Amino acid sequence: MLSFLPKNPKDIREELRAKFKARRKSLKYTQDELATRSGVSLGSLKRFESSGQISLESLLKLAFVLECLGDFEEVCKPKEVMPESIEDLL
């Protein structure tokens, strides 16, 4: 994919899948351990790690256990309005 094109939902889903799987492995959790700790079924976790498909609730539960839930606070954060001129600042 060309890097200057905006990402589509499939690209984002694939990135999340890969990042969550890498995070699980870096914390040395097996899929079974993460499923148990998070309350997400093992089948849902396996599906997520292979296809990227998961419910939002399950994704947030995994993020909590993987210590990255705070990252979701930046999603749809209001953008700052930038002044158009120096006069607007004053």
What are the tens digits of pLDDT across the range 40-56? 999 999 999 999 999 99
Q: How many domains does the chain have?
A: 1
Mutual angle of helices 42-51 and 9-26, in 10-degree steps: 120
The answer to whether residue 31 sits within a structural domain is yes
CATH number for the domain harbouring residue 26:
1.10.260.40
What separation in angstroms does the CA of 4 have from each of 1, 7, 8, 19? 9, 9, 12, 21
Q: Read off the pLDDT of residues 6-25 as tens digits, 9 standing for 90 and up.
A: 889 999 999 999 999 999 99
Query: Which pLDDT belongs to residue 2?
Result: 55
pTM: 0.81
Determine contact, residues 38/64, Cβ cutoff 8 Å. Answer: yes
Task: Provide mean pLDDT across the span 57-81.
Answer: 93
For residue 64, what are the domain limits?
Answer: 9-68
